[in-house]
Amino acid sequence: MSPDQNPIVELVGISKHYGATAALEGVDFACHAGEVHAVLGENGAGKSTLMKLIAGVIQPTEGQVRVDGQPCTLPNPAAAVARGLVCMFQELSLVPDLTVLENLMLGAPGTGLGRLRRDVVAPARAVLARIDGGHIRMSARVADLSLAERQQVEIAKAITRNPRLLILDEATSALNASVVDKVFAMIREETARGIGVLFISHRFHEIEALADKISVFRNGRHVDTFRNGDYGYGAIIGKMVGQRIDDLFPPKRSTPPGDEVLRLDGFGWPGGIEDVSISLRRGAIVGLGGLDGQGQSRVLQGLFGLLKGTAGEIRIGGNPVRIATPEAAKSPELGIALVPEDRKTEALILDQSIARNLELAALGVPGVAAEDPAIYQPFTDALELKCASLDQPVGQLSGGNQQKVALAKWLALKPRCLLLADPTRGIDVKTKTQIYRLLRQLADQGTAILLLSTDYEEFIHLCDETHIFYDGRIVRHLSGDDVTAENILAATMNMAVSEASHA
């Protein structure tokens, strides 16, 4: 690691834009041989974008990538692997319908379209045996493996590609502690051999135990890079949080919420929720937080009748109910509305006009005149929907205006209980304030709101109380003065409060 040695990969002035949103902005970053470099940041900070750039999955909008000091482009993952940049992805890169053996051989260096080489098998077996994966059969189909086993195969696949820089994006999220220790031991050995490791994890203790260097990202910008141990936990969280504007949010109201509208008791689902209990009162806004995929979005789906075989009890207005389908959920008796996470695929039909999209939710609900534009107007007005006319296809609107249509379509049903899945993700600040104002207004009029969010500012400034999910369970319930950025971040990484408060 002499200072004159070129870094394996260096990013100079890199930006990556998706339309109007910037995932990375003016990033300078370098990884050196022989060190473990951890990247920290909250959801949407740009960590995964960074990894994908280095792995050749996506191309930068601006800036230069240098490998061993030489400017180069990485047009696809094969080119990155050829230069020794091997990534183990968060969204697994294994092909579900192929066997373990076939996946290990797939795209291995030196394999083109011709005969497959089996010489990766022995080292892969050795790696698997070291990380408690010796029981995984080479002939098993990947789709039949558990998530943890798939991650073990991913690790073996990455290591057998002879990386010079090994990129681990949440590589160990499903593995238990003893396996993680073994993976770490192996990674340390690899760094001793001069291999660089770049690694994202949301488990802070993993980073403390493993990293030589830590880089913090926030809102697509590289905030700081320092040696592990230079700063305490509190200071690092401070770098991740940064400073933000406060007047985005309308003032909270002081009156206490009313009667209980919805109550979940011991709610569970075999696909990843366990023992979730939530109480939602009239006029309350309750936040659901946590890292992506910890079960919070499944809870919303379960409440909207999308999951089969749920356990536990749902009460609406005190009466136990069974919500079997979305149609039942939206009926006036239950009065539940769900604005889903992905507005382009789940909430809207992009090719259809605004007017048609608005009607979709109300169709077939007794007592609602779906085709009457007047029932949507108060909401499109309150949100200041900008469009040429209601006959314009929704696909032509900006993301923010699309979200307004998705909201208005459900609000016209005057739901008692409104479920929102990250309604402000990827939306500009002005639209955010409009949505916040409307949500506050709805709550004041008595609507009960369950708000899933990846933006903890919303929990602090908009929600009355917040449940933080981890691994399918609620790990913390925060209300009042406890709702602080530090507490939320600590809970999302499932760290004890005391651990977070000293530092």
Partner 1 sequence: MPDFLRSNRRETIAVAVLVLLLALYLGTHPRGASTYVLTIWGNQCLILALAAAAQFFAVIVRGIDLSVGAIMALCNSLASHVLGGTGIDLFFGCLLVVGAGLLAGVVNGLFIVFGRIQPIVVTLATASVLVGLALILRPTPGGAIDYDLADAMTLDLGGVPSSLILGALVVVAFWLPLRRTGLGMGLYAVGSSEQAAFQSGINVRLIRIAAFGLAGVFAALAGLYFSFVTTTGDAGIAPNFTLNSIAAVVLGGVALRGGVGSLIGAMAGAFILKTIGALMFFSGLPPLAQPFVEGLILAGAISIGGADVLRVRNRLEVFGR
Q: Which residues bind partner 1 (CB under 8 A)?
A: 55, 57, 76-78, 80-81, 87, 89, 91-99, 102-103, 105-107, 111-116, 137, 139-141, 144, 269-271, 298, 301, 305-309, 325, 346
Tokens of 225: 């890079």
Give the whole-angstrom CA distance, residue 500 versus residue 468: 15
Crossing angle of helices 121-130 and 177-192, in 10° steps, is 130
Give the largest CA-CA distance in the chain: 75
* Shortest distance (Å) from residue 207 CB to partner 1: 24
* Shortest distance (Å) from residue 61 CB to partner 1: 20
Q: Which residues contact 75 (CB under 8 A, 6 or more apart)?
A: 56, 59
Q: Which residues contact 368 (CB under 8 A, 6 or more apart)?
A: 362, 375, 412, 413
Q: Which is nearer to partner 1, 94 or 197 (CB)?
A: 94
* Shortest distance (Å) from residue 312 CB to partner 1: 15
* Shortest distance (Å) from residue 158 CB to partner 1: 11
Under DSSP, the state recorded for 397 is S
* Shortest distance (Å) from residue 226 CB to partner 1: 31
* Shortest distance (Å) from residue 423 CB to partner 1: 18
Q: Are 44 and 124 in contact (CB under 8 A)?
A: no
3-state secondary structure of 219: coil
Sheet holding 9-18, edge to edge: 21-31, 9-18, 62-67, 70-72
Q: Which is nearer to partner 1, 257 or 340 (CB)?
A: 340
Q: Which is nearer to partner 1, 134 or 229 (CB)?
A: 134
* Shortest distance (Å) from residue 96 CB to partner 1: 6
Q: Which is nearer to partner 1, 303 or 491 (CB)?
A: 303
* Shortest distance (Å) from residue 121 CB to partner 1: 13
Q: Which is nearer to partner 1, 209 or 321 (CB)?
A: 321
Q: Taken in order 311, 303, 322, 261, is the CA torsion positive or negative?
A: positive
* Shortest distance (Å) from residue 97 CB to partner 1: 4
* Shortest distance (Å) from residue 494 CB to partner 1: 24
3-state secondary structure of 404: helix
Q: Which is nearer to partner 1, 232 or 270 (CB)?
A: 270
Tokens of 428: 């500009």
| C-alpha distance across the termini of the chain, in Å | 30
Q: Which is nearer to partner 1, 14 or 145 (CB)?
A: 145
Q: Do strands 9-18 and 448-452 pair parallel, antiparallel, or not at all (unpaired)?
A: unpaired
Give the whole-angstrom CA distance, residue 44 versus residue 80: 24
Under DSSP, the state recorded for 116 is P
* Shortest distance (Å) from residue 74 CB to partner 1: 11
Strand partners, 280: 262
Give the whole-angstrom CA distance, residue 288 versus residue 297: 9
Q: Which residues contact 388 (CB under 8 A, 6 or more apart)?
A: none
Q: Which is nearer to partner 1, 36 or 94 (CB)?
A: 94
Residue 229 backbone phi and psi in degrees, to 5: 100, -15
Residue 351 backbone phi and psi in degrees, to 5: -80, -15
Q: Which is nearer to partner 1, 283 or 472 (CB)?
A: 472
Give the whole-angstrom CA distance, residue 411 versus residue 435: 12
Q: Which is nearer to partner 1, 139 or 243 (CB)?
A: 139
Q: Which is nearer to partner 1, 259 or 342 (CB)?
A: 342
Name the CA radius of gyration of the chain, rounded.
Answer: 24
Q: Which residues contact 293 (CB under 8 A, 6 or more apart)?
A: none
Q: Which is nearer to partner 1, 346 or 371 (CB)?
A: 346
* Shortest distance (Å) from residue 250 CB to partner 1: 33
Block residue for tokens 């057998």: 160
Q: Do strands 465-470 and 273-281 pair parallel, antiparallel, or not at all (unpaired)?
A: unpaired
